[in-house]
């Protein structure tokens, strides 16, 4: 009898995780709570339980003989859901509350890196608008302004001029746009270079890196518009050298995972390092305590081994196996509701998308409906179309061939996902 697994979360990231688990021979059943209606098309069992209702999730896992739990989003991790599952003697893959601070507090992450000489942007943190404003006026622009806490990927402003920097501070401190996440700010030096995402499966000071990817954060083509949770991604990233990745593993991943063990907050789960390739080598922009979104949707399709078996072995203290297809390129484009990310207009009809070939997939995010064939948008990011092809150009061509043939009133997408790599070539 195969494994029964509960995935917590509701977005395209969790759809991808659940779908990848089901592809493995060791897994029989995947539940997703709260999931979304589109996941049902892939045989995922959607469970109407909130990711914040830890007690109900524990009861469900017990009653349904769940072998272990995969926690997708950051909020339940930071609220200690892994601690709660472990107290109930149900294995859960993800960091404990103390370790999840690496994402929950940018100040925590910065101080950790400072103590262990991990390369990152110079920074200062402030809990007062006046002090932050005085600092920005002193150092000038360009500069990066970040709400200290969780802001769903939208609390970062790369300010190329003083007006933008001061406006960002006003949004955080005076308009309280990010609520308690904006009780303090981290202000960083602006770094030049291309960004890339390096995710690893981690157990204490052991880690297994995944292929790197590159996300597109801005809402519109040519990196214009506001920051979003991500509008598309691709992998691999040919303009980032293997030497740069190896250096990142040696100077960032290895010392950070060891530091967390040494300081009594060992990390188990997915460690996401958002990095930038500078002239001085890789530097950390941010850490997340979980899979990135939309990076997950282009990285996990490259996994050819059994994800469920590997994580089961991780949780048991055994050696996991991760095998990646290095002969393909994978690209995914997000379709979002009009107005995303600032003033989302919900309710757009999602077209009935076919089941594509084995190399192309639809991952659903902010959708609702009576059944999996009649879906409407109920959030900012609605769905993502991903494909794996022999080259990045072919992958880009395939996704846009599909998207450009769709009628998508009330929704939009970027037309240049992957262009940085193709232009670099």
Q: What is the mean pLDDT of residues 77-89?
A: 97
pLDDT at res. 418: 97
The reply to whether 281 and 199 lie within a common domain is: yes
The reply to whether 278 and 294 lie within a common domain is: yes
pLDDT at res. 154: 60
The reply to whether 161 and 175 lie within a common domain is: yes
What integer best gives the mean pLDDT of the chain? 94
Q: What is the mean pLDDT of residues 16-44?
A: 97
Asked if 333 contacts 231 with a C-beta cutoff of 8 angstroms, the reply is yes
Q: Is the pLDDT assigned to residue 38 strictly greater than 90? A: yes
Asked if 45 contacts 52 with a C-beta cutoff of 8 angstroms, the reply is no
Asked if 99 contacts 144 with a C-beta cutoff of 8 angstroms, the reply is no
Residues in a beta bridge with 7: 32, 70
Residue 320 belongs to some domain of the structure: no
Residue 321 belongs to some domain of the structure: no
Pairing of strands 92-93, 68-71: parallel
pLDDT at res. 371: 83
In the structure, what pLDDT confidence band is assigned to residue 294 with cuts at 50, 70 and 90?
A: very high
pLDDT at res. 147: 83
CA distances from 122 to 117, 166, 191, 418 (A): 12, 19, 10, 29
Q: How many domains does the chain have?
A: 4
What is the rounded distance in angstroms from the CA atom of residue 371 to the CA atom of residue 318?
40
Q: What percent of the chain has pLDDT over 70?
A: 98
Over residues 101-130, the pLDDT tens digits come to: 999 988 899 899 999 999 999 888 888 888
Can you say how many angstroms the Cα of residue 163 is from the centroid of all Cα atoms in its chain?
30
- DSSP output for 192-215: -SEEEEEEEEEETTEEEEPPPBEE
Residue 288 belongs to some domain of the structure: yes
pLDDT at res. 307: 98
Q: Is the pLDDT assigned to residue 417 strictly greater than 80? A: yes
In the structure, what pLDDT confidence band is assigned to residue 425 with cuts at 50, 70 and 90?
A: low
Which CATH number is 9's domain given? 3.40.50.20
The reply to whether 202 and 298 lie within a common domain is: yes
Over residues 215-264, the pLDDT tens digits come to: 999 999 999 998 899 999 999 999 999 999 999 999 999 999 999 999 99
Q: Which of 387, 267, 293 lies closest to 9, judged by CA? A: 293
Point out the least confidently predicted range of 1-10, 137-146, 288-297, 336-345.
Answer: 137-146
pLDDT at res. 181: 59
CA distances from 406 to 93, 122, 273, 385, 402 (A): 38, 45, 34, 12, 7
Range(s) of the domain holding residue 60? 3-97
> Between these two residues, 402 and 423, which has the higher pLDDT value?
402
Q: Is the pLDDT assigned to residue 153 strictly greater than 60? A: no
Residue 322 belongs to some domain of the structure: no
pLDDT at res. 356: 85
The reply to whether 295 and 399 lie within a common domain is: no
Residue 323 belongs to some domain of the structure: no
What is the rounded distance in angstroms from the CA atom of residue 276 to the CA atom of residue 273?
10
């Amino acid at each position: 009898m195969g494994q029964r697994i509960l995935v917590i979360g509701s977005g395209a990231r969790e759809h991808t995780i659940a779908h990848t688990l089901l592809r493995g021979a060791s897994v029989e059943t995947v539940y997703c709570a709260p999931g979304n209606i589109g996941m049902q098309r892939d045989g995922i069992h959607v469970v109407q339980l909130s990711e914040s209702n830890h007690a109900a999730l524990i009861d469900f896992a017990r009653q349904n003989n769940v072998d272990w739990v995969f926690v997708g989003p950051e909020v339940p991790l930071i609220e200690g859901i892994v601690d709660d599952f472990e107290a109930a003697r149900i294995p859960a893959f993800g960091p404990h509350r103390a370790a999840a601070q690496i994402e929950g507090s940018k100040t925590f992450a910065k101080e950790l890196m400072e103590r262990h000489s991990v390369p990152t942007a110079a920074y200062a943190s402030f809990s007062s608008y006046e002090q932050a404003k005085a600092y920005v006026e002193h150092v000038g622009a360009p500069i990066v302004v970040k709400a200290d806490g969780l802001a769903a990927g939208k609390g970062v402003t790369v300010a190329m001029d003083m007006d933008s920097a001061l406006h960002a501070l006003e949004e955080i401190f005076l308009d309280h746009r990010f609520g308690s996440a904006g009780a303090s700010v981290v202000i960083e030096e602006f770094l030049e270079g291309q960004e890339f995402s390096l995710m690893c499966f981690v157990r204490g000071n052991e880690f297994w890196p995944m292929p790197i990817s590159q996300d597109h954060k801005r809402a519109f083509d040519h990196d214009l518009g506001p920051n979003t949770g991500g509008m598309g991604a691709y992998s691999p990233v040919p303009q980032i050298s293997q030497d740069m990745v190896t250096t990142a593993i040696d100077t960032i991943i290895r010392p950070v995972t060891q530091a967390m063990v040494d300081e009594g907050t060992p990390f188990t789960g997915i460690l996401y390092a958002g990095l930038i390739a500078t002239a001085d080598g890789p530097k950390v922009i941010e850490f997340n305590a979980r899979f990135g979104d939309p990076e997950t949707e282009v990285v996990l399709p490259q996994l050819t081994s059994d994800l469920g078996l590997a994580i089961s072995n991780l949780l048991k203290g055994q050696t996991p196996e991760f095998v990646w297809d290095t002969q393909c390129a994978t690209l995914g484009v997000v379709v979002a509701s009009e107005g995303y990310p600032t003033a989302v207009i919900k309710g757009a009809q999602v077209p009935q998308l076919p089941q594509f070939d084995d190399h192309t997939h639809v991952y659903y995010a902010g959708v609702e409906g009576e059944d999996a064939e009649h879906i409407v948008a109920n959030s900012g990011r609605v769905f993502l179309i991903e494909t794996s092809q022999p080259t990045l150009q072919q992958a880009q061509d395939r996704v846009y061939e599909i998207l450009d043939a769709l009628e998508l009133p009330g929704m939009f997408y970027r037309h240049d996902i992957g262009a940085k790599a193709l232009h670099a070539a």
